[in-house]
Amino acid sequence: MKVLSWNVNGIRAAARKGFRDWLDQCEASYVGLQEVRALPEQIPKNLQSPEGWHTHVVAGERKGYSGVGFYSRIKPDHVETSMGSEEFDREGRFHLATFGNLKIANVYFPNGNGKNRDNSRVPYKLAFYERLFAMLADDFNAGRPLLVVGDYNTAHQAIDLARPNQNRETSGFLLEERQEMSRWLSAGWVDTFRHYHPDEPDHYTWWRQWGGARESNVGWRIDYILASPGAMPYVQDGFILKDDMGSDHCPIGIEVDEAILHG
């Protein structure tokens, strides 16, 4: 069973770049999307309810901004879309789907940049992280299998971006953002990609859209699938699909034993 995550940087733009063909060929059971940037009715017709997929979209109040969605071969038992805070819910960054014993949170974590690229949204970003951590705590502590897929907007360590020294004052690699990621991992959450590729450099999931950054592989690894200790016995691989085009991000994924749905 393959679980994928992809910041598509606009589902309508991705559709024009072949997203539907990619979806049909990806062989995934679940695909979480971030930065959908469209109301449900604005999504291209052939992606609203494609045959063989169960779909769900959460849009932000501000048009053309944020939003998450998923496509699943398995019908979800339940989907939650609220973090219990209007401050966060208005931006459409979260949904939590239950599939048997498994819960998958698909999340578009905020960027810390303000309108003037001044790091003014960092407190909001960290509060969002903290709220989600607390929301998942009961299931996490009970040993339930949980996956948190999405664009975390944070490179955790120097190995996770091409130019760490030049970006220490940039949101996405600020000390306080990295410390929040460390808090999750210290609590027992597992970075599935690093679990299988602990010391391998030059693995990124986002590149700037100018200056040949992607061609030169000058990027950041800011997209993750974190697994709870209850999920890790079922996780079999973690990978980055760096050659899959259609966005300034690339898809990431894990292979999971289907027994996770019933264990």
| Residues catalogued as catalytic | 151
**Residue pair 37/4 in contact by the 8 Å Cβ criterion:** no
Reference 118, options 171, 39, 53; nearest CA is: 171
Alpha carbon distance 227, 224 (integer Å) = 10
Burial annotation 231-244 (CB, 10 A radius, 16+ → b, else e): beebbeebbbebeb
Q: Which amino acid is at 163?
A: R
HSE-up of residue 213 (Cα within 13 Å, Cβ side)? 16
Reference 93, options 136, 62, 53; nearest CA is: 62
34 DSSP β-pair partners: 7, 68
Alpha carbon distance 80, 99 (integer Å) = 12
CA 210 to chain centre: 23
**Residue pair 254/239 in contact by the 8 Å Cβ criterion:** yes
**Residue pair 145/234 in contact by the 8 Å Cβ criterion:** yes
- The token duo for 214 is 């992607």
